[in-house]
Structure 1
Amino acid sequence: MNYRHSFHAGNSADVVKHCLLIALVRALQQKPGALTLIDTHAGCGLYDLHGEDARRTGESTQGVLQALADPNPLLDDYRAVVQAVNTGAEPHFYPGSPGILVQLLRPQDFLILNEKHPEDAHTLRGVMHGTSAAVHERDAYELWLAMLPPRTPRGVVLVDPPFERTDERARITATLAAIHRKWAHGVTVIWYPLKDRAAHWRWREQMRKLGIPKLLRVEHWLYDGDQPGIYNGAGLYIVNPPYAFTQALPPLLEALRVALAPEGHKGEITTDWLGD
């Protein structure tokens, strides 16, 4: 499954991923110590919702536009980061994960971004000009291993690949196993698209076998039944989520389910722990 960021910017998966990412970072920032934030597949950092790629799919209409129109205050932090890169009432631009993370930085925090695609990396450097973010152009899995443990005591890694390769899940699983051996207390967020439940059940069991004690799985299924051959939603694996984040998660997930449910469907967001 090819999931190039520019075609899907601001869709329902972005809304869920970015809402949870904001909540996670904010929970960690309740302590004053410095954080290192690392995005291994950063993309461009800013997307034109009126551009050719985004207009071809039109997915933002069932994502960010629905979230902006929803009155639930639990989505206020998400709406604020989107509105920060726009001037009108309707968003023209969508901030990717780098554009969101850079807004969350405190003076003591660090942001490391990586994008292997040369054109996207060039665009990302322009978007990040004038910020403190460091931009790399390396293999994501090599960088993921090389950058950990970070210089700061705490950190968050976001792994958000386009899933262009058939071995993407295998590479994620193997790299996470190696990372956990050298950075057992670190926080990692792994995003993935959902198609059929059977394939993701198999990957779930592979992730469970890693034996990571605190591994949370969150999955957002858009439709009340599987829609064969199409995008059905997205999931996140979160390693070592902080207590403040997990305590606040149920009402946030319910708010997202309601805001993003397609017409005629209730949608479903499920969570479970895979640790022993």
Structure 2
Amino acid sequence: MNYRHSFHAGNSADVVKHGLLIALVRALQQKQGALTLIDTHAGCGLYDLQGDQAQRTGESAQGVVRAFADHNPLLDDYRAAVNAVNGAADVGAAPRLYPGSPRILAQLLRPQDGLILNEKHPEDIRALRSAMRGTAAAVHQRDAYEFWLAMLPTRTPRGVVLVDPPYEQTDERARVADTLAAAHRKWAHGVTVIWFPLKDRATHVRWKDRLRRLGIPKFLAVEHWLYDADQPDIYNGAGLFIVNPPYAFTQALPPLLEALRAALAPEGHRGVIAADWLNT
């Protein structure tokens, strides 16, 4: 599956990913200690939803546009993060610009926190550097998996690593699993967030089994299935694996997940979004 960010900006997967990422970082920031936030596959950082690549798929209509049409206050933090890159005049309107994870993470930084970004794609790294100009982010252009391990352990006692691959390569899941195992040996207490698309349920079950065999405790799987029955050969949803999610985050998760499910349910479908521990 090819999942280059610019073609899918603001879709339902982004709404879930960014809604949960904001809640996760905010939960960690209930403690004053500094955080290092790391994004291994940062993409362009900022996307024009009326640009050619986003318009070619039109996926934002089923994602951020639905989230903006919904009035559940549990989505207010997500909507505020999107509004922040669109200007006060556009508040309440369907957004023109969509912030990728780097711009969202930059908004969440406190003075004591740090942000380190990585993107290997030559076009995207140029866009990322432009999008992050004026922020405190450090930007790298390296192999994502080498970069992931090189950044660990973080300089601050606490940190979050976001791993958001395009899943273009057939061995992408294997590289994620192998690097996660090595990263956990170096940084067992750290928080790691791994995004994944859901297309083939059998493939996903096999990958979950592989990750389960790593024996990592406190390993949460959040899965968002858009349709009431699997749709063959198309995108069926997405989710996050989260290692060491903080207690404040997991306690507040059920109502947030329900708010996301309700806002993003396609016409004629209820959909399912659920969180389960891999190793219990």
Shorter-chain TM-score tier: over 0.9
Pairing 1:154–2:158 present: yes
SS in 1 for 2:275: strand
- Counterpart of 2:71 in structure 1 is 71
C-alpha deviation, 1:196, in angstroms: 1.5
| Cα distance in 1 between the residues matched to 2:279 and 2:249 | 17
Unaligned runs of at least 5 residues, structure 1: none
Pairing 1:266–2:270 present: yes
SS in 2 for 1:269: strand
| Cα distance in 2 between the residues matched to 1:128 and 1:57 | 25
* Deviations 1:176-202 (CA, angstroms, capped at 9, x unpaired): 000111100000000000002111000
Matched to 2:127, the amino acid is T
The RMSD of aligned alpha carbons is: 0.6
* Deviations 1:8-35 (CA, angstroms, capped at 9, x unpaired): 0000000000000000000000000000
> TM-score scaled to structure 1, two decimals?
0.99
- Counterpart of 2:36 in structure 1 is 36
| Cα distance in 2 between the residues matched to 1:130 and 1:258 | 36
Pairing 1:228–2:251 present: no
> 1:100 is matched with which residue: 104, 110, 122?
104
Pairing 1:7–2:11 present: no
> TM-score scaled to structure 2, two decimals?
0.98
C-alpha deviation, 1:275, in angstroms: 2.0
Matched to 1:52, the amino acid is D
- Counterpart of 2:132 in structure 1 is 128
| Cα distance in 1 between the residues matched to 2:94 and 2:249 | 30
* Deviations 1:108-165 (CA, angstroms, capped at 9, x unpaired): 0000000001111111111111111000000000000000001000000000000010
Aligned length: 276
SS in 2 for 1:135: strand
- Counterpart of 1:50 in structure 2 is 50
**Post-superposition, which runs of at least 4 consecutive aligned residues in structure 1 deviate over 6 A?**
none
| Cα distance in 2 between the residues matched to 1:271 and 1:243 | 14
| Cα distance in 2 between the residues matched to 1:106 and 1:202 | 39
- Counterpart of 1:205 in structure 2 is 209
C-alpha deviation, 1:2, in angstroms: 0.3
> 2:256 is matched with which residue: 244, 252, 257?
252
C-alpha deviation, 1:225, in angstroms: 0.3
| Cα distance in 1 between the residues matched to 2:72 and 2:86 | 21
C-alpha deviation, 1:217, in angstroms: 0.2
| Cα distance in 2 between the residues matched to 1:123 and 1:271 | 34
- Counterpart of 2:22 in structure 1 is 22
- Counterpart of 1:186 in structure 2 is 190
C-alpha deviation, 1:239, in angstroms: 0.1
- Counterpart of 1:196 in structure 2 is 200
> 2:118 is matched with which residue: 95, 114, 121?
114
C-alpha deviation, 1:90, in angstroms: 2.2
C-alpha deviation, 1:271, in angstroms: 1.4
SS in 1 for 2:274: strand
Matched to 1:15, the amino acid is V
Unaligned runs of at least 5 residues, structure 2: none
SS in 1 for 2:149: helix
Aligned ranges 1:168-179 → 2 under 5 Å:
168-179=172-183
| Cα distance in 2 between the residues matched to 1:5 and 1:235 | 15
Matched to 2:161, the amino acid is V
